[in-house]
Amino acid sequence: MRMVNRTYDEITVGEVAELRRLITADDLFVFAASSGNSNPMHLTDSDLDGDGHKERVAPGMFIASLISAVLGTQLPGPGTLYRRQTLEFRSRAHAGEEVVTRAEVLSKADRCVRLRTEVRHADGRIILTGEAEVVAPVEKFDGADVHVPGLVVQRHRHFEALLDRARPLPALVTAVVCPDEENALAGAMLAAQNGIITPILIGDAAAIHRLAHAGGHDLTGVEVIDIHGAPAAATRACALVHDGRAAAVMKGHLHTDDLLRPLLDKETGLRIGRRFTHVFVMDVPGQPEPLLVTDAAINIAPDLATKMDICQNAIDLALSLGMEPRVGVLSAVETVTPAIQSSLDAALLSKMADRGQIRGGLVEGPLAMDNAIDPAAARAKGLTGAVAGRANILVVPGLDAGNMLVKQLSFISHAESAGVVMGAKVPVILNSRSDSPMSRLASCAVAALFAATPPRGAV
């Protein structure tokens, strides 16, 4: 970013500078974090002034700070110091609106410059007026190395949108297996309170009721099936699905293997002809849409046939979430390299999609992580097409790579993750004890949205 100032000697009366700015919701979260002003009127879509309209009002001092941006970067520019500022607010601005900030030199004397300042809506309506008096710089500045680190707002608008879509749906009847631990029970009850699922609790009834009492969960009207032992509880969940009494299964306090083994039983399980595969739905701050990562939880070293099911399951899930599936099949390189098996598999999967063996989305590979999700990296490597640089589904070479990627997104990029197992007769909600309340809710919302989608034929 290049900046050039106007020294005191260069400034002339009547000189004008303007700055246009689109106010985003993230701007208001950043301002709240830096100023301490967490007034919900500025941060949520609510009607707190009683005018009948929902608003996310930009704080007055945020609007005023746009004046300092003009003074500090344009007129006079770098080296400017405030002496005083008057403000008169005429109207309000909201997130999503564009505003124009203007400063005009009125007079100058003794190194001080007096300016008329105003902020207007893009259509000319005045938001605020005032005057500023500043100490102007005397040394010339002309630099292109001014760099401000980018900020990532840690909010999860993609999961909030999924929850908004899932809440109007009929509550998904869900067989919750072994919810006899505090977090497991709390996650199911939280989703029930939000109207996303209707839980059927399967496990040690005495322990479940004891935990509910301790945690303040009302089990009135909630069916509790008293069964001891994880295998028996998971088998009963399968029976509920076959009987049409449950439309999803949810993991409680048991090992994933103990849950999946009965679900994979050829006689009584929930197989439909595809491999069971796991999909993480990641809400990564700063990304324009959810990012799906698969398979990072079940298939350790998938072969080509398994990767085909991994791709198809993820595409089907993405479609149910309202996404346009763009599958980037990851490898260490973006060229087909015989010594790297994942690059060969990626190329074959891409061609299989071209021939209609994988349907419903675009599949491209091999792609390295950078040129799968970053358009500039894709251009630098000469990669074209609709997927390179824009992938929203990442198919990893194996569980090791997938697990590392998901944890990097979670702990470095502050992403939230929802997890579901695909390829079964019904979606299987896979939570862990470390999941946040938002993650648990989002997993249930993802399952509900998928269950509400018309079934797709197996490839």
Query: Tens digit of pLDDT for each residue in 290-310?
Result: 999 999 999 999 999 999 999
pLDDT at 150 over 70: no
Q: Quick one: pLDDT at residue 286?
A: 75
How confident is the model over 68-85, as a mean pLDDT?
Answer: 95
Q: Quick one: pLDDT at residue 454?
A: 76
CATH architecture of 3-143: Roll (3.10)
How confident is the model over 331-346, as a mean pLDDT?
Answer: 95
In the chain, what percentage of residues exceed pLDDT 90? 73
Lowest mean pLDDT among 36-50, 58-72, 346-360: 36-50
pLDDT at 459 over 50: no
Residue 457's pLDDT band, with cuts at 50, 70 and 90, is very low
Q: In what order do the strands lie in the sheet with 172-177?
A: 223-226, 197-203, 172-177, 248-251, 428-429, 416-422, 277-283, 291-294, 393-395, 326-330, 362-367
CATH superfamily of 277-423: Isopropylmalate Dehydrogenase (3.40.718.10)
How confident is the model over 402-425, as a mean pLDDT?
Answer: 92
Residue 53's pLDDT band, with cuts at 50, 70 and 90, is low
- The mean pLDDT value of the chain amounts to 91
pLDDT at 162 over 50: yes
Q: Select the more confidently predicted residue: 95 or 121.
A: 121
Residue 455's pLDDT band, with cuts at 50, 70 and 90, is low
Residue 66's pLDDT band, with cuts at 50, 70 and 90, is very high
How confident is the model over 364-376, as a mean pLDDT?
Answer: 92
pLDDT at 69 over 50: yes
How confident is the model over 240-250, as a mean pLDDT?
Answer: 96
In the chain, what percentage of residues exceed pLDDT 70? 94
Residue 119's pLDDT band, with cuts at 50, 70 and 90, is very high
Q: Quick one: pLDDT at residue 208?
A: 94
Q: Quick one: pLDDT at residue 413?
A: 85
Q: List the domain boundaries for the chain.
A: 3-143, 277-423
pLDDT at 438 over 60: yes
Residue 54's pLDDT band, with cuts at 50, 70 and 90, is low
How confident is the model over 413-417, as a mean pLDDT?
Answer: 88
Q: Quick one: pLDDT at residue 456?
A: 56
Surface-to-core class of residue 2, CB atoms within 10 Å of its CB (0-12 exposed, 13-18 middle, 19+ buried): exposed
pLDDT at 458 over 50: no
Q: Quick one: pLDDT at residue 152?
A: 64
pLDDT at 331 over 50: yes
How confident is the model over 325-345, as a mean pLDDT?
Answer: 95
